[in-house]
Structure 1
Amino acid sequence: MSYYPSDEQLAQMTKELTQARLENWLATDLLTWQWWFIVVTFIIPWIVFYYLADRKQLPKILLYGTLLILLIITLDLVGFELGLWYYPFKLLPVGPLTGYIDLSPLPVIYMLEYQYFPRWKDFVKVSIVTGIVFSFCFEPILISLGLYIPIRWEHHYGLPFYILMPILMRGAVEKVFTSAKKQS
């Protein structure tokens, strides 16, 4: 008979891991220059979005952004749990371990692209360019700053995700709003 942990044991391990994360965050992350960098890169994109967002398109843009955030968080957590990468510095010790990237600036950039490139052809082109920039510019910068550590991951692995995520979510949002117009 093989041994595996019970649900109660897993709950206890999770509690202990959360406590260890909190202690680590307080000792190594909070108020460091990396933590302040994360705070700034979390807040600034949303300020920019506030001023640039087209209020008439806000329901579509925010639905698009919300769907993207859910997808980005899910994929990022799967990658983390599988040991593909990790983030040594965190905005907060609990919750999505990479919240500053998953909640801002990635979705904000994608939402502004959604707004400024309404034609599919242009949107696909800008998604390809953005994917290249995220994969081959932003990821290496985060690595050089010590904010992102790939373990079993190469920059080019992320390229299809960075390209397909905005395209798929745009398709989903367009379908939702087309269906809603047909119903009214």
Structure 2
Amino acid sequence: MMSFSDYWKQIFQKNDELHRLFVDYWYDYSNIFTWQFWTAVILFIGPLIILIFTVDRKRLFEVFLFGYTIHMLWTYADFYLETHNLLIHPYFLSPTLPFGINMTASLLPVSFLLLYQYCTNRGKNFYVYGLLLCFLFGIVFATVSDMLDLLMFHKWMNQLYLFIIDVFIIFPAYWFTLLIKYFQTKALKTKQD
């Protein structure tokens, strides 16, 4: 049995080796001279630019709360999926950032927050539209990304599971946002009384 410090020495050593391996891989296959890198850049910056021009500025806190919740939940989910070799983003912006950051910090949260904004501004059923967008990302977009080798499914992971994960992320984020709105409305009423 290894001692506590021996475990950590070995963990540090393996972590350094793994980091060097990712850096070497990035320089060989995912650097700024590859179309895959620029696809990741567009998927990261593009939605943020669209967001600047389309977000409802009167509801910034509410809409961004929803998007931020999506971002956080997807970041944790993606971290788990990557560290367990289930869902791999083989091309990424930098070996020092989370590999799926273009998806978890931009494309997914911005798309879902704009959907939330659209549905709530127009009285549309968020559950129906949310399921449709989950299908588009989890099945259609993931299949195209897999065919282009921008996404790799490993072990038992597939598009159906990705769709299910999407659903289990957006609906709790929606409920959490509604809960915060309820508390905010209640606090404002109490303050007015």
Question: Size of the alignment, in residue pairs?
Answer: 184
Instruction: Name whichever of 21-30 and 8-17 sits farther off.
Output: 8-17
Say whether the 8 Å CA contact 1:127–1:162 is kept in structure 2. Answer: no
Q: Larger Cα Rg: Structure 1 or Structure 2?
A: 2
Q: Per-residue deviation at 1:3?
A: 8.6
Q: Deviations over 1:72-117 (max 9, x none)?
A: 0111111111121211111111121211111121111000011010
Say whether the 8 Å CA contact 2:139–2:162 is kept in structure 1. Answer: no
Q: State the partner residue of 1:159.
A: 163
**TM-score, normalised with respect to structure 1:** 0.92
Q: Per-residue deviation at 1:44?
A: 1.0
Q: State the partner residue of 1:7.
A: 8
Does the alignment pair 1:145 with 2:148?
Answer: yes
Does the alignment pair 1:22 with 2:23?
Answer: yes
Q: Per-residue deviation at 1:130?
A: 0.9
- Summarize the alignment of residues 64-103 of structure 1 with structure 2, pairs less than 5 Å apart: 64-103=66-105
Q: Which sections of structure 2, spanning at least 5 residues, go unmatched?
A: 189-193
* Alpha-carbon distance between aligned partners in 2 of 1:63 and 1:129, rounded to the nearest angstrom: 21
Q: What is the one-letter code of the residue matched to 2:132?
A: V
Q: What is the one-letter code of the residue matched to 1:131?
A: C
**What is the percent sequence identity of the aligned residues?**
24
Q: State the partner residue of 2:175.
A: 171
Q: What is the one-letter code of the residue matched to 2:22?
A: R
Q: How large is the RMSD of aligned CA atoms in angstroms? A: 1.9
* Alpha-carbon distance between aligned partners in 2 of 1:24 and 1:10, rounded to the nearest angstrom: 21
Say whether the 8 Å CA contact 2:116–2:126 is kept in structure 1. Answer: yes
Q: Deviations over 1:5-63 (max 9, x none)?
A: 61232122212211221122122211201101111111111111111110011111111
Q: State the partner residue of 2:63.
A: 61
Q: What is the one-letter code of the residue matched to 1:28?
A: Y
* Alpha-carbon distance between aligned partners in 2 of 1:26 and 1:84, rounded to the nearest angstrom: 23
**TM-score, normalised with respect to structure 2:** 0.88
* Alpha-carbon distance between aligned partners in 2 of 1:120 and 1:79, rounded to the nearest angstrom: 35
Q: Per-residue deviation at 1:177?
A: 2.4
Q: Per-residue deviation at 1:2?
A: 7.4
Q: State the partner residue of 1:36.
A: 38
Q: Which sections of structure 1, spanning at least 5 residues, go unmatched?
A: none
CA 34–71 in structure 1, closer or farther in 2 if over 3 Å, else same: same
Say whether the 8 Å CA contact 1:130–1:162 is kept in structure 2. Answer: no
* Alpha-carbon distance between aligned partners in 1 of 2:10 and 2:68, rounded to the nearest angstrom: 34
